[in-house]
A and B are shown apart, each in its own frame.
Chain A
Amino acid sequence: MPALNAEILGITALSLRIAVTATVAACAIGVPIGFWLGGTRFQGRRGALLVLNTALAFPTVVIGLLLYLLLSRHGPLGGLGLLFTWRAIVVAEVILAAPIAAALTAAAVQSVDPRVRRTALTLGAGPLAAAWAVAREARFALAAGVVVAFGRVLSEVGAAMIVGGNIRGETRTLTTAVALATSQGQFSLAVGLGLVLLALALTVNVLIQLLQGRDDA
């Protein structure tokens, strides 16, 4: 039993490491794009938002497959030696979560009163300071976007399975471990892992609710 607990702990730690790294990277890419799409008027903006919203519904196994082809030994990025490492999972999750971060940021920025930017500008703010003023007004909606991206990364299984390979102690995450344990009939392990995943998902959703509650206030 202690060995089982140690394994669950190790898998949980790896899952969190992947989820946190991928969320940070996805937000670093997605949030500025969301700001740009939500806050500026340019030709083709509606088209860009459409592409972004389509990216939200992109099947994760397809992303896993494309990334697999890119990263496999004979693929164009095979030389990086990323396939079947936790970093490959991070890359896949970033591709999945960056559109979420961007779309939710764009929505958050669009929902901010247009007077915020004008007010900051007329009081002497430059474009960056004005964007910061907008971000401050939308901070709870933006934080909720980050949490949603984190939840998505944490619960993703298809791409993680394909590019990570579900290698014990290396790339086995909570979701891929549940899938494997179930297929092997190790139901106690599967249920244990599932409970951890549920607890994390619950925490994430409580956070979202708290943030949305603050935003309404």
Chain B
Amino acid sequence: MLEARGLRHVYERRMVLALEHLSLQAGTRLALVGPNGSGKSTLLRLLAFLEAPAAGEMTLAGRPVRTGRERRAARQRVTLVEQRPYLFRGTVLANVAYPLRLRGTPGAAAAAAARGALDRLHLGVLAGRAARALSDGEIQRVAVARALAATPDVLLLDEAASAADRASQHALFAAVAEEQARRPLAVCFASHLLEEAYRWSNDLLALHQGVSVPVTPENLFRVELPAGGGMQPVAVGGVTLDVVCDRGGPATLAIPPEEIVLSREPLHSSARNCLPGRVVRIAEQGAAVRVTLDAGVELVALVTRRSVEEMGIALGATLFASFKTVAIRVF
């Protein structure tokens, strides 16, 4: 549906995004994950055709989108809900009917369709309310209803549930998933909450400083590598890790969560890194469990549910996280 190749974007002479390939197809529910400033919002604005990329090829339904006129036509079929969405003056219903009115739907039919979109997000009661009187969470959900009312082929959500409580978050993503079950729709949502990303996506793109990183953004650390090659002790936050690298200077370390072994006692093994830490978060991810340790820096380990049960891992417990030096990726 929507494809991007060799996408580059520059802001104030700084490269803020460099993405080789991205494809959003009907049924896709791609989560963009990464810390603040990783390029998620920039990518979404480019995908929404609100800005032209500095370089790269974008196609919608197989047709290239290059000129302003083509971007304008493409925006009829791709819509973005911004992190802090804007609702126009007037009622909630008028806001949700707006994209329909733009497409020439008569007033009564637009209002009926807008009510339908609000109902799908359990927002029917807000229809007559002034848009200015809503809470941040309500504004976000109304904005999603308004985006769905535009019946886009591609729906882009930038932290769309950041101000919503858990129930609203569920209602929001469930409505999006239902819409996908009903008609061909590609969805891409940015989130800094990994649990949200894992739960609602069927594909994941991790961004770090504007580039796609081959791992999830957990256990990503900006470090200063000492000059010289081979194995080196590298300061990461308050701890020191043994890292194999062939260069010096600033770099990013990534420790894949599945490479971390948890144990009750320090492991005497070939793994050169063994850090004690306290369990601060436990979250399910399918059949596996993500355990977050505070070991001076936050480390996430992916373990099986069985291991969690057998080891009796609980919040506050002290565990040891071990991983091999060669498991640490440097880029």
Q: Is the CB of B82 within 8 A of A124?
A: no
Closest residue of chain B to A217, judged by CB? B132
Q: Is the CB of A122 within 8 A of B84?
A: no
Q: Is the CB of B103 within 8 A of A122?
A: no
Q: Is the CB of B72 within 8 A of A123?
A: no
Distance, CA A134 to CA B150, complexed state (A): 19
Chain B contributes a number of interface residues (CB within 8 A of A) equal to 21
Q: Which of B50, B88, B89, B98 contacts A121 (CB 8 A)?
A: B50
Distance, CA A129 to CA B84, complexed state (A): 22
Closest residue of chain B to A118, judged by CB? B50
Could you say which interface size class chain A belongs to?
10 to 19
Q: Is the CB of A124 within 8 A of B102?
A: yes
A118-B82 contact given A123-B146, A124-B99, A124-B102, CB 8 Å threshold: yes
Chain A residues near B85: list those with CB within 8 A.
115, 119
Question: Whole-angstrom distance from the CB of A215 to the nearest CB of chain B?
Answer: 10
Q: Which of A116, A123, A126, A133 contacts B79 (CB 8 A)?
A: A123
Chain A residues near B89: list those with CB within 8 A.
136-137
- Asked whether A125 is an interface residue with its Cβ less than 8 Å from the other chain, the reply is yes
A124-B88 contact given A118-B50, A129-B102, CB 8 Å threshold: no
- Asked whether A170 is an interface residue with its Cβ less than 8 Å from the other chain, the reply is no
Chain A residues near B88: list those with CB within 8 A.
116, 119, 133, 136-137
Q: Which of B86, B146, B147 contacts A113 (CB 8 A)?
A: B86
Chain B residues near A115: list those with CB within 8 A.
82, 84-86
A122-B102 contact given A116-B86, A116-B88, A136-B88, CB 8 Å threshold: no
Question: Whole-angstrom distance from the CB of A189 to the nearest CB of chain B?
Answer: 47
User: What 0/1 pattern do residues 132 to 173 of B give for CB contact below 8 A with A?
Assistant: 000000000000001100100000000000000000000000
Q: Which of A113, A116, A123, A137 contacts B102 (CB 8 A)?
A: A123
Q: Is the CB of B79 within 8 A of A124?
A: yes
Of the listed residues A115, A118, A136, A137, the one surrounded by the most CB atoms of chain B closer than 10 A to its CB is: A118
Chain A residues near B79: list those with CB within 8 A.
122-124
- Asked whether B293 is an interface residue with its Cβ less than 8 Å from the other chain, the reply is no
Closest residue of chain B to A129, judged by CB? B102
Chain B residues near A127: list those with CB within 8 A.
72
Q: Is the CB of A119 within 8 A of B102?
A: no
| 29 contacts across the A-B interface (CB closer than 8 A) | A115-B82, A115-B84, A115-B85, A115-B86, A116-B86, A116-B88, A118-B50, A118-B82, A118-B86, A119-B82, A119-B85, A119-B86, A119-B88, A121-B50, A123-B79, A123-B98, A123-B99, A123-B146, A123-B147, A123-B150, A124-B75, A124-B76, A124-B79, A124-B99, A124-B150, A126-B72, A129-B102, A133-B88, A137-B89
